[in-house]
Amino acid sequence: GFEEISVIGAASRDNEPRPQIVYSRTLLREAANGQMAKLSSADSIVSFASIAGQGVTAALCAPIMLGSAVDAFLYLDARGGTAVAADDAAGFCQVVARLCGLALANMKRREVEDRERQLASEVSAAREAQQLIVPAESGTICGLRYAMRMRPGRFVAGDLFDIIDLS
C-alpha cells in the first residue's frame, strides 16, 4: 500500500497558494506496475475518489525505476479550470522519470563505492594490526629455533601464529 508518502516538492502557478498535497492512490497503484498512469478530463473522475474533490482535471504518475523495481513516483496534476495535459506531457513525464531513475542509480552506486572504500580501509587496518602481533618469520626463543611463513589471504582471517616463552 501507500500508507506513507514522502513529498519531495510541490509547486503551483504564480501567485497561487501552495497546493494541498492530495494524490490519487489509483494512479499510484497503476504506476506501481512499472507503467505510466494517466487521468485525463475524458476519464470518469468518480473512480479517482481521493482527488475528486480537489478540482483535478488531469494527472500523470510515472514510476521512477531503480533497476527493475519501482523506487519512487513522479506525480503531476492539473487543478482547477479546464486545464488538460498536453499531448506530449506523458512522454515528457516518462523521460523526466527515467532521468530521475538514472540519478538515483548513480547515487546508490556512489553509496556502494563509499562503503567498499570504507571496508577496504578497515580490512587494511586489520591486516596491519595482525602483522604487528605476529612474531618475526624466524628466530630463537629459549634456545629453540623456529621459522614460519605467513601468506595472508585477500581478506583478514582469524588464523595467527605465535611463540610463547613458558620458561
Span 62-92, pLDDT tens digits: 999 999 999 999 988 877 665 666 778 889 9
Percentage of the chain modeled with pLDDT above 90: 31
Instruction: Please answer whether residues 57 and 85 qualify as being in contact, where contact means their C-beta atoms are separated by less than 8 angstroms.
Output: no
Residue 15: left if φ>0, alpha if ψ -120 to 50, beta else—which one?
A: left
Judged against a pLDDT cut of 80, whether residue 16 lies above it is answered with no
pTM of the model: 0.66
CA-to-CA separations, 7 to 11, 57, 114, 155, in angstroms, rounded:
11, 21, 27, 43
Mean pLDDT rounded to a whole number for the chain: 81
pLDDT confidence of residue 15: 65
CA dist 113 and 81 (Å) reads 49
Q: Confidence class of residue 167 from pLDDT cuts 50, 70 and 90? A: confident
